[in-house]
């Protein structure tokens, strides 16, 4: 293919290049994909309201997340089993993210070890955590992340069961036999396999703790000093509870539309969550971010930063580390352009009045 110039170019290449088992796993949403579509369409319904005649000769895209500086507010979300996209997998991603000066979140279900990913890059890293029925497994993962220098734990709270993903059921999805979930041993490492239905659904049903309640947060605080982000909150009620339990950050997420179909797009519920926490913890967003303007819209509506998942996988499929670097550079360039053309010379200049819904213009 010719040199990609936008994120959809990487997506189109990945669809042609990746094996069906991998492409379907990465790309599919739950059930009929209503929320998968809405994650994108909701961004498209938002309109930018640029200001003009402002000095934007110098633009500073930097910000902080949980006190750590990043060069621009577009970070990398946790995506599982990255070696299905490229042999270097999460190690390639870590190198590219570190060079870009932003944050990588490593999936619990990575095909590279926590230690190898840490050794590949000294850049900012968070660790995404599922809480297992066997608390010793959970603690072991936390200790590995602590020793490796990860700065926060992003706990996925929307997966007591795995959402029904038709493509994975049809494919009887399983991890390719030459790969393992690298941070586990025994059946945990090789258990994503099936002769019927989705192997990942069976894995989650057998190992993930579906009885988890808010009371797990004090327990988690008791076993780690790392900051805690809850990933998967979609309403103000749960956001207020997160604040009551002293959470450091909320990642507004519908799991890439892979869990419960027909839930809202994340950008739609972001304002109510930002309002509910009232500055008492940081708020981030993932889901459907494909352009620098999407990141701008999320920041205007109160997000501290956004996280991207699938585009990183598409970059990996294109050229490994170099492909991820190109994806991140496109996001960075587009975000800078959005700032400049809306009259913002720093992220602090991005304000809610710079975004409105398309219906506001249809009434004119």
Active-site residue set: 255
Question: Does 284 show up as a binding residue in the annotation?
Answer: no
E-strand ranges in 210-323 read: 227-233, 249-252, 282-286, 305-308
User: Do the Cβ atoms of 11 and 288 come closer than 8 Å?
Assistant: no
Question: Does 128 show up as a binding residue in the annotation?
Answer: yes
Residue 300: both structure tokens together: 């205007």
Nearest to 34 by CA among 258, 197, 253, 234: 258
Q: Quick one: DSSP state of residue 132?
A: B
Question: Does 130 show up as a binding residue in the annotation?
Answer: yes
Using the structure block, give the residue that is written with the tokens 């205007």: 300
Question: Does 253 show up as a binding residue in the annotation?
Answer: yes
How many whole angstroms separate alpha carbon 227 and alpha carbon 126?
A: 9
How many whole angstroms separate alpha carbon 250 and alpha carbon 304?
A: 10
Question: Does 40 show up as a binding residue in the annotation?
Answer: no
Q: Quick one: DSSP state of residue 353?
A: G
Q: Quick one: DSSP state of residue 130?
A: P
Using the structure block, give the residue that is written with the tokens 């809306």: 342
Q: How far is CA 236 from CA 158, 230, 269, 355, in A?
A: 15, 13, 8, 21
Question: Does 290 show up as a binding residue in the annotation?
Answer: yes
Find the helix packing angle between 266-277 and 292-300, rounded to 10°: 30
Question: Does 25 show up as a binding residue in the annotation?
Answer: yes
How many whole angstroms separate alpha carbon 185 and alpha carbon 343?
A: 52
Question: Does 29 show up as a binding residue in the annotation?
Answer: no
The H-or-E segment that residue 75 falls in is strand 74-76
Backbone angles phi, psi at 165, to 5 degrees: -115, 105
Residue 171: both structure tokens together: 């494919």
Show binding-site residues for glyoxylate. 25, 165, 255
Extract the annotated binding site for FMN: 78-80, 107, 128, 130, 156, 231, 253, 258, 286-290, 309-310
Known binding-site residue numbers:
25, 78-80, 107, 128, 130, 156, 165, 231, 253, 255, 258, 286-290, 309-310
């Amino acid at each position: 293919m010719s040199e990609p110039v936008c994120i959809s170019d990487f997506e189109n290449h990945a669809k042609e290049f990746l094996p069906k088992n991998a492409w379907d796993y990465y790309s599919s949403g739950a059930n009929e994909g209503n929320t998968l579509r809405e994650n994108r369409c909701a961004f498209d319904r938002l309109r930018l309201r640029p200001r003009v005649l402002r000095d934007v000769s110098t633009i500073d895209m930097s910000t902080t997340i949980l006190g750590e500086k990043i060069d621009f507010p577009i970070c990398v979300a946790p995506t599982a089993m990255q070696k299905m996209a490229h042999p270097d997998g999460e190690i390639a991603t870590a190198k590219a993210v570190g060079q870009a000066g932003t944050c990588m979140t490593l999936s619990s279900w990575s095909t590279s070890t926590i230690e190898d990913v840490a050794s590949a890059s000294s850049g900012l890293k968070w660790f995404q955590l599922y809480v297992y029925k066997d608390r010793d497994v959970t603690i072991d993962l936390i200790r590995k992340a602590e020793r490796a220098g990860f700065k926060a734990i992003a706990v996925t709270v929307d997966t007591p069961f795995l959402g029904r993903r038709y493509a994975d059921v049809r494919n009887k999805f399983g991890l390719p036999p030459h790969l393992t979930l690298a941070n586990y041993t025994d059946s945990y490492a090789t258990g994503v396999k099936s002769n019927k239905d989705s192997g990942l659904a069976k894995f989650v049903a057998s190992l993930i703790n579906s009885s988890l309640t808010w009371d797990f947060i004090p327990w988690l605080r008791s076993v780690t000093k790392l900051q805690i982000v809850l990933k998967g909150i979609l309403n103000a009620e749960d956001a207020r509870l997160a604040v009551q339990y002293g959470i450091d950050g909320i990642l507004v997420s519908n799991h890439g539309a892979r869990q419960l179909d027909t839930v809202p797009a994340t950008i739609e519920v972001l304002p109510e969550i930002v309002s509910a926490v009232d500055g008492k913890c940081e708020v981030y967003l993932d889901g459907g971010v494909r352009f620098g303007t999407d990141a701008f819209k999320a920041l205007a509506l109160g997000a501290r930063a956004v996280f991207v998942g699938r585009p990183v996988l598409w970059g990996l499929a294109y050229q490994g580390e170099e492909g991820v670097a190109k994806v991140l550079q496109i996001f960075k360039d587009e975000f800078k352009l959005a700032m400049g053309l809306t009259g913002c010379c720093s992220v602090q200049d991005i304000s809610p009045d710079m975004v409105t819904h398309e219906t506001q213009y249809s009434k004119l």
